[in-house]
């Protein structure tokens, strides 16, 4: 094997890049190591673009291997890795969102980047994969404007200071107070993915500032490697737009585009694009290349007018002020008497329905993956059916966009979800995008906050989200406009999609995607401040509709009762092979979950939870001398009687403890099934025996037997 290594010290850890002939058929490849975490990234480009479907064809895969964690997972009959985990999909999206803006989108050849996790140590494989992907592409012959660098800035929930590249293994529930991934190039930011426990804008800005020196160091390191071993890039010049297409556009739909600008609706743009497609297909019926170029030219002109009007005339596509939020509508509940909680949220033409479902701890999601193993009690899912965009299309299956948007909303809400001890429910939210015109993910956060409060979940505070945009003069970066609540062409043709979610107290989630080669940190800080003003406006509307969580959870939700038993009592409640706990479930209809520390959660409806809890409490009750009960005689003996005083506890009433007078035969005064008062008079914990007394509980309860009548 021929190999060469390069090392860099960053964040107190050593990163090592290994270039070898291990994957020599790829256009570019690298193995990146840090703290025993190893990721291999490869980059390939197709030989030609003959199968191109009219857009830049980039695919990114993040491959988790169970062997990387020293595990054999999977089902009994199949030990292969199956469909990508949620974490793998989200990691692939982070790589994609980071590298995509730096490709020339006129390239028709397909590009594929694959990051494979070979070993999981004490460094975050997801962040390492971004840097590995950058090195693989940058050293290859694939045209690209990188390299880029990625760092993680974090702070644990329990202790520690905010630092670069901390790594806390995930157990299903978040272990971070701040979880921030930043990717950058030069002095600019390319991608952000963040969750924070209500960090104010100043604190979030400090975290970004902390990331930038480490990003610069990694980027410079990569540049030196590229200068030494990088391959010459393929020559893939952009096609020249024919003058006749420009002329045809100007003479047909060009004027109409200027006419609708300033009071644009998404449908008007789509209608104009459809009109242009008809015109260009009729004109160039025998020239597929010209038809494709005509389509590109339409988007180029929309992009041009969006920038020109904003920067030169201070005009947005729909005529709003740059910091103006569209009309807001919020509705809590009233959708269905069956659902546990609902929230409807409108922001302009973006409409979302969010639905809450509550269940017991036994319904928590079990995660058994390469990197994450544990349970997850709070989940947010997001659906984007074709009709929400006025289109037809495929429904069902795993959609990466839906996964990413759903997880962003989940991250935004996690910091306000009550802890398990105070609210032991498993919580699932589903946000249905009903109509889309700009940032349904942020509308989902708002709708979900409403649904949580409608269902009586005691969240700390409602969360709202807003999407911020940017119109940037690439020739003069000091000339820019920040847009609040982007929609329509601002979303598609603007330079930034900066989603910021939070409460009145601070930021809970951030996601940044860009279409240029980077955004200055100063601009992002300014956008965060502008986003806060919009967020507060939205929260005013939400809190006017529902000021706080309802006092009680939905009557349709199950009731959960919690108690704690001694760990050594767990086996007795479960029983041999689960026999005892299964019997309780069958008798009561309730679900019982017991954790290793002895915490018992009993979930049920219509009194079943109370009944099951009583049984558990009786089974684990430690009897004390002097306690009094009403018992049932279950067996008669010559020396006394066995009296049941609980679901699984009984004791012996010695014949001398039945009555304050002498009892000759037990059967004279007691019979099976008889209810009797008893008092605990002795406990032998080691032998599990309880001695009871009827006479000490009530000396007058047993009456002396009547003497037989004397015959005259």
The CATH number of the domain holding residue 157 is 3.30.230.70
Residue 238 lies in a domain: no
Query: In the structure, what pLDDT confidence band is assigned to residue 618 with cuts at 50, 70 and 90?
Result: confident
**Is residue 712 predicted with pLDDT exceeding 60?**
no
Same domain for 91 and 201, yes or no, is: yes
Res 374: pLDDT: 76
Q: Are 41 and 128 in contact, with CB atoms under 8 Å apart? A: no
Q: Is residue 499 part of a domain?
A: yes
Look at residue 707 and tell me if it is in a domain. Answer: no
pLDDT of residue 658: 92
> Domain check: are 95 and 28 in the same one?
yes
Q: Read off the pLDDT of each residue in 16-44 and give the average, rounded to a whole number.
A: 96
| 707 pLDDT higher than 70 | no
Q: Is residue 121 part of a domain?
A: yes
For residue 398, pLDDT beyond 80: no
* Residue where a domain stops, chosen among 599, 620, 641: 620
Residue 682 lies inside a defined structural domain of this protein: yes
Across the range 370-397, mean pLDDT stands at 86
Structure tokens at 12: 């107190």
Q: Let me know whether 90 and 182 are in one domain.
A: yes
Mean pLDDT of 497-517: 96
Please write the tens of the pLDDT for every residue from 538-563: 999 999 999 999 999 988 899 999 99
User: Is the pTM of the predicted complex or chain greater than 0.75?
Assistant: yes
Question: Which of 512, 545, 578 delimits the end of a domain?
Answer: 545
Enclosing domain of residue 655: 628-693
Separation of alpha carbons 619 and 596, rounded Å:
18
Other C-beta atoms closer than 10 Å to the C-beta of 524 total 25
Q: What pLDDT does residue 276 have?
A: 92
Position 505 confidence tier, pLDDT thresholds 50, 70, 90: very high
The verdict on 576 and 478 lying in the same domain is no
Q: Which residues pair with 643 in a beta bridge?
A: 633, 651
User: Lowest-confidence range among 24-38, 102-116, 307-321?
Assistant: 307-321
Q: How far apart are CA 379 and CA 427, in angstroms?
A: 6
Q: What is the pLDDT of residue 399?
A: 85
Residue 364 lies in a domain: yes
Same domain, residue pair 507 and 358: yes
- What local confidence, expressed as pLDDT, does residue 98 receive? 97
Nearest alpha-carbon partner for 675 in 629, 630, 645, 640? 630
* Single residue among 313, 340, 355 that ends a domain in this structure: 313
Which pLDDT value is given to residue 366?
80
Is the pLDDT assigned to residue 263 strictly greater than 80?
A: no
Domain count for the chain: 5
Residue (of 601, 588, 593) closest to 560 by Cα position: 601
pLDDT at 711: 59
CB 588 within 8 A of CB 614: no
Residues 663 and 579 in one domain: no
| pLDDT value, residue 400 | 87
Residue 626 clears pLDDT 80, i.e. is over it: yes
Question: Residue 15's pLDDT is what?
Answer: 96
Residue 173 domain flag: no
pLDDT band at 66 (very low <50, low <70, confident <90, very high): confident
Same structural domain for residues 458 and 601? no
Structure letter (DSSP) for residue 658: S
pLDDT category at 384 given cuts 50, 70, 90 is: very high
684-706 pLDDT, tens digit per residue, is 877 778 999 999 999 889 888 77
Q: Are residues 446 and 511 in the same domain?
A: yes
Q: Are 120 and 64 in contact (CB under 8 A)?
A: no
Averaged pLDDT score across all residues of the chain: 91
Q: Name which of 120-124, 192-196, 396-400 the model is least confident about.
A: 396-400
State residue 708's pLDDT score: 60
**Could you tell me if 98 and 190 are in contact, meaning their C-beta atoms sit under 8 angstroms apart?**
yes
613 in the same domain as 638: no
Same domain, 369 and 464: yes
Whether residue 156 sits in one domain with residue 33: yes
Which residue matches tokens 């929230």?
343
Same domain for 412 and 511 = yes
Name the 3-class secondary structure at 78: coil
Q: Is residue 699 part of a domain?
A: no
**Cα angle vertex 178, ends 174, 182, to 5°?**
110
């Amino acid at each position: 094997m021929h190999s060469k290594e390069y090392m860099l010290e960053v964040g107190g850890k050593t990163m090592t890049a290994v270039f070898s002939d291990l994957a020599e058929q790829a256009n570019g490849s690298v193995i990146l190591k840090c703290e025993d975490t190893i990721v291999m990234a490869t980059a390939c480009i197709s030989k030609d673009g003959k199968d191109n479907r009219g857009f830049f064809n980039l695919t990114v895969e993040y491959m988790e291997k169970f062997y990387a964690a020293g595990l054999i997972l999977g089902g009994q009959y199949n030990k292969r890795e199956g469909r990508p985990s949620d974490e793998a999909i989200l990691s692939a999206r982070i790589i994609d969102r980071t590298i995509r803006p730096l490709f020339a989108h006129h390239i028709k050849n397909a590009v594929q980047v694959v990051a494979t996790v070979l070993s999981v140590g004490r460094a975050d494989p997801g962040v390492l994969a971004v840097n590995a992907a950058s090195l693989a592409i940058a050293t290859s012959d694939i045209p690209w404007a990188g390299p880029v660098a990625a760092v993680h800035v974090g702070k644990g929930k329990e202790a520690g200071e905010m630092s670069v590249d901390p790594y806390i293994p995930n157990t299903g529930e978040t272990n971070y107070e701040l979880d921030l991934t930043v990717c950058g190039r030069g002095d600019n930011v390319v991608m952000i993915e963040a969750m924070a426990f209500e960090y104010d804008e100043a604190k979030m800005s400090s975290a970004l500032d902390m990331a930038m020196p480490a990003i610069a160091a990694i980027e410079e390191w990569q540049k030196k490697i590229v200068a030494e071993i990088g391959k010459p890039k393929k020559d893939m010049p952009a096609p020249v737009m024919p003058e006749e297409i420009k002329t045809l556009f100007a003479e047909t739909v060009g004027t109409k585009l200027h006419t609708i600008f300033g009071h644009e609706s998404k449908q008007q743009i789509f209608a104009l694009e459809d009109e242009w497609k008809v015109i260009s297909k009729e004109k160039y019926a025998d020239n597929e290349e010209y038809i494709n170029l005509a389509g590109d030219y339409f988007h180029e002109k929309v992009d041009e007018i969006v920038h020109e009007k904003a920067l030169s005339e201070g005009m947005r596509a729909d005529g709003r002020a740059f910091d103006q939020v569209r009309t807001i509508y919020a509705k809590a509940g009233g959708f269905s008497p069956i659902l546990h909680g609902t929230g409807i949220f409108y922001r302009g033409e973006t409409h979302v329905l969010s639905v809450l479902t509550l269940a017991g701890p036994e319904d928590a999601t079990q995660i058994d993956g390469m990197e994450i193993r544990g349970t997850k009690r709070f989940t947010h899912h997001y659906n984007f059916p074709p009709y929400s965009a006025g289109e037809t299309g495929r429904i069902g299956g795993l959609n990466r966009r839906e996964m990413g948007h759903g997880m962003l909303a989940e991250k935004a809400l996690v910091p306000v979800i009550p802890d398990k001890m105070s609210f032991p429910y498993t919580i699932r939210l589903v946000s249905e995008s009903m109509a889309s015109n700009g940032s349904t993910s942020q509308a989902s956060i708002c709708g979900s906050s409403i649904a949580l409060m409608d269902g009586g979940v005691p969240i700390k505070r409602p969360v709202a989200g807003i999407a911020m945009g940017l119109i940037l003069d690439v020739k003069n970066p000091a000339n820019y406009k920040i847009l609040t609540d982007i929609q329509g062409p601002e979303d598609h043709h603007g330079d930034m999609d900066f989603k910021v979610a939070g409460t009145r107290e601070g930021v809970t989630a951030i996601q940044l995607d860009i279409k240029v080669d980077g955004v200055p940190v100063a601009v992002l800080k300014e956008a965060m401040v502008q986003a806060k003003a919009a967020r507060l406006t939205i929260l005013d509307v939400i809190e006017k509709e529902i000021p706080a969580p309802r006092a009680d959870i939905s009557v349709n939700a199950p009731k959960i009762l919690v108690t704690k038993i001694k760990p050594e009592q767990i086996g007795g409640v479960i029983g041999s092979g689960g026999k005892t706990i299964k019997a309780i479930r069958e008798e009561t209809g309730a679900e019982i979950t017991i954790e290793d520390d002895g915490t018992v959660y009993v979930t049920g409806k219509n009194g079943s939870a109370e009944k099951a809890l009583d049984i558990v409490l009786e089974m684990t009750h430690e009897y004390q001398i002097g306690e009094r009960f009403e018992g049932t005689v279950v067996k008669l003996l010559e020396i006394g009687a066995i009296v049941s005083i609980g679901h699984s506890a009984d004791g012996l009433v010695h014949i001398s403890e039945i009555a304050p007078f002498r009892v000759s035969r037990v059967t004279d005064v007691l019979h099976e099934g008889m209810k009797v008062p008893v008092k605990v008079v002795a406990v032998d914990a080691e032998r599990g025996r309880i001695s009871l007394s009827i006479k000490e509980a009530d000396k007058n309860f047993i009456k002396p037997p009547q003497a037989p009548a004397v015959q005259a």
